[in-house]
Amino acid sequence: MSDIKKVVLAYSGGLDTSVIIPWLKEHYDNCEVIAVSADVGQGSELDGLEEKAIKTGASKLYIEDLTDEFVDEYIIPTMQAGAMYENYLLGTSFARPIIAKRIVEIALKEGADAIAHGCTGKGNDQVRFELAIKAFAPEMKIIAPWRTWELDSREKEIEYAEAHNIPLKINRETNYSKDKNLWHLSHEGLDLEDPANEPQYEKDGFLEMSVSPLEAPDAPTYVTIDFEQGVPVAVDGKKMKGSDIVRTLNELGGKNGIGLLDIVENRLVGMKCRGVYETPGGTILYEAHRILETLTLDKMTAHKKAELAITFGELVYNGQWYTPLREALSAFVTSTQQNVTGTVKLKLYKGNMINAGVTSPYSLYSEDIATFGESDYDQMDSQGFINLYGLPIKVQALLKQGKLKK
């Protein structure tokens, strides 16, 4: 441990990383700790962080604004892929690579001996952070206190924080493990550890980005979203950058109870865990994009893309953003988005999203062909198609009946 003089810490100001600063100094011979906080749209959680980090022993705090890059280079490509993991829209998952990349850049600039993080040995984030670190600084030492320290519960962490006069925004009753960014908010722990318990959606303070569908307005809200080559560019006709689109849809979706997800998911490390997610704007974007693709993608491309979306989602969830396969899949997705241009209208109502109309200049839908009325479509064409399509079935049946001519 004596060779570690300077450590760069991935710092959120939450319970884990607040405790880690003094713990590192105690266990690594009063090493210098440089804290790095990434702004990925978590808002007020960044308030007062510098004062807190310095007070608890950090020599400095970097606050890096990564929000636009996060949306444009990580969120939108994943949304275009239609990628999710067991219905989870990957809010924490695709935030970790961009955060870890920036931490590595700062660690190399500062000449740090190691990078530290506050991820537990039970979770997925340890993998996501460390795979990203290996991608950009393969020889960097990594310190993961949760895998070695004596503070083996959040209760003990709180006791340690109280003993070291570390201010916390939580208490033992509100001690959910949360992760927030522009895209989502996750809730784990406490009563949610028992899948038999209903989430307390109506309890004051539980939901932060949304309301319970029971508390949503009694009248629907209509919203239109414009896409250009799969990229959202406007809401209700107003052009705006990607991060502002997510913010706008978060507000609309949140007040209508959109995007609540309660799942027991399969973690990368092998165990099942229960989490509640709020993803109001992201859920709207995924649905609008999916609807637009029903008009603009041909059948074979749409079906193959849906298959590959599973793999894409697993790569993101498993921390493998910086891999050749993810890059190759992104190249495929980009090629499929050339004609994904148009406008989708959705009706938002008490947690539901209802398709209220979709248009595209590249629509493959022809009312003339599909109509039940008169059209130029020759219905006799189907007879030959069925004969050829059904030929293998017919041959099998003739063989079973002993009627196949040889």
Residue 318, CA distances (Å) to 132, 266, 269, 374 in order: 11, 11, 9, 52
Query: Is 298 known to be catalytic?
Result: no
Catalytic residue, candidates 12, 93, 177, 360: 177
Angle ∠(238,41,243) on CA atoms, nearest 5 = 20
Using CA atoms, how far apart are residues 140 and 227, in angstroms rounded to an integer?
A: 41
Catalytic residue, candidates 12, 37, 96, 247: 96
Distance of CA 387 to the CA centre of its chain: 47
C-beta of residue 270 within 8 angstroms of C-beta of residue 296: no
Query: Is 16 known to be catalytic?
Result: yes
Catalytic residue, candidates 12, 16, 37, 226: 16
Write the DSSP symbol of residue 383: H
Please tell me the chain's helix, strand, coil percentages from 3-state DSSP, rounded to the nearest 5.
45, 20, 40
Using CA atoms, how far apart are residues 283 and 220, in angstroms rounded to an integer?
A: 17
Query: Is 47 known to be catalytic?
Result: no
Write the DSSP symbol of residue 48: T
198: Cβ contacts below 8 Å, ≥ 6 apart: none
Query: Is 29 known to be catalytic?
Result: no
C-beta of residue 5 within 8 angstroms of C-beta of residue 24: no
65: Cβ contacts below 8 Å, ≥ 6 apart: 39
Residue 161's Cβ-side half-sphere holds a number of Cα atoms within 13 Å equal to 22
Beta strands 60-65 and 32-39 are parallel
Catalytic residue, candidates 125, 226, 243, 326: 125
Q: State the catalytic residues.
A: 16, 96, 125, 177
